[in-house]
């Protein structure tokens, strides 16, 4: 007997509540999800949407990545609340700094990845999180960035163009009906990175609402990082102790 993989289904994984410690003295709360019975082949360091607009480590695409991808694609998924952000996991110290002080939050997450020896880290940002990835990702030992619904509000032209001089991957998922940056404009705004891969998602919206949108985003993430795990299963054996959140 199997169950459909959709919505809040939580697949088996080793899950650990963690704390990150920033260079400016803050403690951030988060979670690390690892494959249940094997080492991860790569690591997603996720950066959530704008906290002043309701974004946090449990924003649904990031929560579902942590719920599914350790089991389906052998990926480690690190989620955390940036400074001043609250979720069911708790509240990170500090207050929202518009992407400035959050530089230390990204640094703390990457220090944790290094300390734990987590392999092949990628930054996966969504909306505001894409700004952090673009602004600060080049400072860290990552394989690349995956940008979900990048608004390009805070990352400057120079910060975007800096990626052109770097061999690491820049992959952008651009919703057809995005509220801030749609495919045609995205082609212009990312033109300074000739090797950037822009993927226009037909029917997509900024918040990626609905199972078909979720599945498409997770598929594109896995395609970039561990394509051998594709296609992602749509069902899971009940005997594998899957459970709902």
- What pLDDT, on the 0 to 100 scale, is given for residue 201? 98
Predicted confidence (pLDDT) per residue in 159-191, tens digit: 999 999 999 999 999 999 999 999 999 999 999
Question: Does residue 244 lie within any of the structural domains?
Answer: no
Q: Where are the beta strands (DSSP E) in the chain?
A: 2-4, 9-10, 14-21, 27-34, 42-47, 75-80, 86-87, 90-91, 121-126, 144-148, 169-175, 197-201, 235-237, 243-244
First-residue to last-residue Cα distance in the chain: 20
Over residues 54-113, the pLDDT tens digits come to 999 999 999 999 999 999 999 999 999 999 999 999 999 999 999 999 999 999 999 999
Question: Could you tell me if 13 and 37 are in contact, meaning their C-beta atoms sit under 8 angstroms apart?
Answer: no
Q: What is the mean pLDDT of the chain?
A: 96
pLDDT at 240: 44
How many independent structural domains does the chain possess?
1
Q: Would you say residue 205 lies in a domain?
A: yes
At residue 206 the predicted structure's pLDDT band, cuts being 50, 70 and 90, is: very high
Q: Per residue in 126-147, pLDDT tens?
A: 999 999 999 999 999 999 999 9
Q: Is 52 left (phi over 0), alpha (psi -120 to 50) or beta?
A: alpha
With respect to residue 193, please indicate whether it lies within any of the assigned structural domains: yes
| Interval 223-241 mean pLDDT | 90
* Within-domain flag for 203: yes
Residues recorded for the chain: 245
Q: How confident is the model at residue 244, as a pLDDT?
A: 44
CATH number of the domain at 160, please: 3.40.50.1820
Q: Is residue 52 included in any domain, yes or no?
A: yes
Residue 232 lies in a domain: no
Q: Is the pLDDT of residue 242 over 90?
A: no
Domain presence at residue 9: no
- The confidence score (pLDDT) of residue 238 equals 86
pLDDT tens digit sequence for 112-125: 999 999 999 999 99
Q: What is the pLDDT of residue 36?
A: 98
pLDDT of residue 31: 98
Q: What pLDDT does residue 58 have?
A: 98
Burial class (CB in 10 A: 0-12, 13-18, 19+), 82: buried
C-alpha 141/C-alpha 242 separation (Å) is: 34
Task: Give pLDDT tens digits for 10-62.
Answer: 999 999 999 999 999 999 999 999 999 999 999 999 999 999 999 999 999 99
- What whole-number percentage of the chain has pLDDT above 90? 96
β-strands 235-237, 243-244 pairing = unpaired
| 3 state SS of 81 | coil
The domain in which residue 92 lies consists of 15-226
Half-sphere exposure of 106 (CA within 13 A, CB side): 28
Position 2 in a domain: no
């Amino acid at each position: 007997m199997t169950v459909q993989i959709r919505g809040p289904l939580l697949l088996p994984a080793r899950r650990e509540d963690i704390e990150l410690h920033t260079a400016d003295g803050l403690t951030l709360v988060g979670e690390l999800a690892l494959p249940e019975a094997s080492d991860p082949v790569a690591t997603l360091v996720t950066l959530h949407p704008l906290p002043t607009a309701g974004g946090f480590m449990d924003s649904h695409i990031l929560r579902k990545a942590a719920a599914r991808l350790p089991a389906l694609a052998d990926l480690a998924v690190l989620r955390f609340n940036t400074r001043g952000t609250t979720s069911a996991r708790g509240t990170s110290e500090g207050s929202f700094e518009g992407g400035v002080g959050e530089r230390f939050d990204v640094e703390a997450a990457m220090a944790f990845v290094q300390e734990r020896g987590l392999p092949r880290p990628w930054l996966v940002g969504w909306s505001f999180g894409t700004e952090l990835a673009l602004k600060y990702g080049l400072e860290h030992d990552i394989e690349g960035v995956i940008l979900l619904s990048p608004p390009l509000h805070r990352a400057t032209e120079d910060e975007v163009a800096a990626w052109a001089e770097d061999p690491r991957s820049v992959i952008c998922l651009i919703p057809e009906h995005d509220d801030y940056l749609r495919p045609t404009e995205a082609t212009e705004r990312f033109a300074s990175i000739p090797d950037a891969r822009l993927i226009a998602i037909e029917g997509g919206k900024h918040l990626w609402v609905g199972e078909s949108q979720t599945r498409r985003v997770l598929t594109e993430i896995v395609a970039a990082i561990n394509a051998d795990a594709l296609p992602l299963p749509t069902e899971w054996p009940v005997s594998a102790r899957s459970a709902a959140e």
